[in-house]
Amino acid sequence: MTSPHRDRAGRPLVAVTGLGIVTSLGEGKEDNWAALTAGQSGVKRLSRFPVAGLKTTIAATVDFIKAEPFCAPALSQEMAMRAGAEAVGQAGIGAPGDFPGPLFIAVPPVEMEWPHRRALAEAGANGEDVTYATLLAGARTGKFRAWYELFLFGTVAENVARCFGTKGSPISLSTACSSGATSIQLGVEAIRRGETQAALCMGTDGSVHPESLIRFSLLSALSTQNDPPEGASKPFSKNRDGFVMGEGAAAVVLEDYDHALARGAKILGFVLGCGEKGDSFHRTRSSPDGAPAIAAIEGAIRDAGLSPDDIDYVNAHGTSTPENDKMEALGLASVLGERMKSVPISSNKSMVGHTLTAAGAVEAVASLMTIATGRIPPTINYNVPDPAIELDVVPNVARDANVRYVLSNSFGFGGQNTCLVFSGEPG
């Protein structure tokens, strides 16, 4: 019997044996990878609801999966099921409906939506102006029992857990726009402490509805360059003016390397390191000095047992907001130094928009496929370089390269900074 494989810190190595993805570009790795490396955009004019009166009228919605009538938890759940099925199917682990480990799933915070409020108001109507007392009267009719389940925060996770037969109490989490990365981090930690030999980690977000769009719009976070829609998301460009909301889901099967080897699984890559640091500067803005982002980047590289010089591609958070891209470039330059000017970095969000809760997981899948195929997806819409950001953003056209170590960044409202390091080889 050979001795167990361990990383440089003596911990179990965390291999990736399954990947699944759904974005506005399509369902499945094959379609998504073809589109991502062809520089295609999934951003389009919104058709899900009327856009009259809105400043932003575009999004990278997933319209080919029907959740009718639209409601965020229903679409989020369905996308998670499909991404999960692809990942678990590829991993060939356990038996159908019997995944041998826990579920960590990043889900958008659920909330009742306007069609539901309107139905409750109608059911409770008493001829007077509508208040929440009217809605409560509607609730008492007993006609809306199914919606109770729909709008509990834990429902999507339990349904996904039941579908795949994951073990233990599934964890629903939110760390805003770094949620998908956090789900992977939780899985890595569980495997490293020997609690499990496999984990299903996912992020999903199908929450483009009028109020969610308007909320980001009121915070001036969204691009308003609606025409053409596919040109709106332009990370690192001088004329970037905000992010584009996106929808999608991604799933990653993590497995103790020795467990994967023992069952003869195909190894798709490794999660070598995770870094995390909170920011106390502001509710929506990052510390101007980039210190928390820097600490998260450094932490991930250190946790991977690597040095900054080892990183040969960065899958950027790259939201296309003026502030994020500047801060991210600053943070990377601080850690990777002069070398950062020549390290390729690209933003999948230029094509699939900002998939919010799912983004970290979606970008993990793209990072691992970059390593596997030796092809770096481009940052599209890069036509006006920002002289303040000296980066090789792999402009507009995919590039072939031998990529061994990828740093993937995720930053979010509420001072969330989570970075992951992926590799093709075990260390």
Residues in 253-292 at the binding interface with another protein, rule: CB under 8 A = 276-284, 292
- Least CB distance to another protein at residue 371 (A): 26
List, in sequence order, every residue forming a beta bridge with 201; answer none if it has no partner.
Answer: 104, 252
- Least CB distance to another protein at residue 131 (A): 5
Examine residue 69 and say whether the peptide bond preceding it is cis (omega within 30 degrees of 0): yes
Cα 408 from chain centre:
11
- Least CB distance to another protein at residue 395 (A): 33
- Least CB distance to another protein at residue 391 (A): 27
**Size, binding site for another protein by CB under 8 A:** 81
CA-to-CA separations, 26 to 29, 61, 105, 144, in angstroms, rounded: 9, 10, 21, 33
Q: Does 252 bind another protein (CB under 8 A)?
A: no
Give the phi and the psi of residue 267 in degrees, each rounded to 5.
Answer: -90, 120
Candidates 67, 147, 239, 339: give the one binding another protein (CB under 8 A). Answer: 147
Cα 398 from chain centre:
21
Q: Does 8 bind another protein (CB under 8 A)?
A: no
Q: Confirm if 236 and 391 have CB atoms less than 8 A apart.
A: yes
Using CB under 8 A, which residues numbered 42 to 81 contact another protein? Answer: 49-55
Q: Is 317 a catalytic residue?
A: yes
CA-to-CA separations, 115 to 111, 137, 404, 419, in angstroms, rounded: 12, 17, 48, 38
Candidates 31, 63, 158, 323: give the one binding another protein (CB under 8 A). Answer: 158
Q: Which stretch binds another protein (CB under 8 A): 120-128, 242-250, 314-322, 395-403?
A: 120-128
Closest CA to 181 of 424, 390, 408, 422: 408
Using CB under 8 A, which residues numbered 378 to 417 contact another protein? Answer: 412-416
Candidates 176, 202, 359, 368: give the one binding another protein (CB under 8 A). Answer: 176
Among left, alpha and beta (phi > 0; psi -120 to 50; other), residue 246 is beta
- Least CB distance to another protein at residue 200 (A): 14
Candidates 67, 85, 139, 261: give the one binding another protein (CB under 8 A). Answer: 139
Q: Confirm if 203 and 249 have CB atoms less than 8 A apart.
A: yes
CA-to-CA separations, 221 to 15, 48, 275, 388, in angstroms, rounded: 36, 21, 26, 20
Candidates 4, 45, 92, 131: give the one binding another protein (CB under 8 A). Answer: 131
228, HSE (Cβ side, Cα atoms, 13 Å):
5
Q: Confirm if 378 and 396 have CB atoms less than 8 A apart.
A: yes
Q: Is 177 a catalytic residue?
A: yes
Candidates 186, 202, 314, 330: give the one binding another protein (CB under 8 A). Answer: 186
Of the two residues 114 and 396, which places its CB atom closer to another protein in the complex? 114
Candidates 37, 61, 76, 172: give the one binding another protein (CB under 8 A). Answer: 172
- Least CB distance to another protein at residue 279 (A): 6
Of the two residues 201 and 376, which places its CB atom closer to another protein in the complex? 201
**Token couple for 260:** 């994967």
Candidates 8, 45, 66, 118: give the one binding another protein (CB under 8 A). Answer: 118
Q: Confirm if 43 and 59 have CB atoms less than 8 A apart.
A: yes
The DSSP code sequence of 333-363 is HHHHGGGGGGSBEE-THHHH-B-GGGHHHHH
Q: Is 354 a catalytic residue?
A: yes
Convert residues 194-213 into a mask of x (bound to another protein by CB under 8 A) and - (unbound): xx--------------xx--
Residues in the chain: 427
Of the two residues 132 and 384, which places its CB atom closer to another protein in the complex? 132
Q: 3-class DSSP state for residue 9?
A: coil
Of the two residues 123 and 401, which places its CB atom closer to another protein in the complex? 123
List, in sequence order, every residue forming a beta bridge with 93; answer none if it has no partner.
Answer: none
Catalytic residue, chosen from 71, 163, 177, 274, is: 177
Q: Which stretch binds another protein (CB under 8 A): 28-36, 110-118, 197-205, 255-263?
A: 110-118
Active-site positions read 177, 317, 354
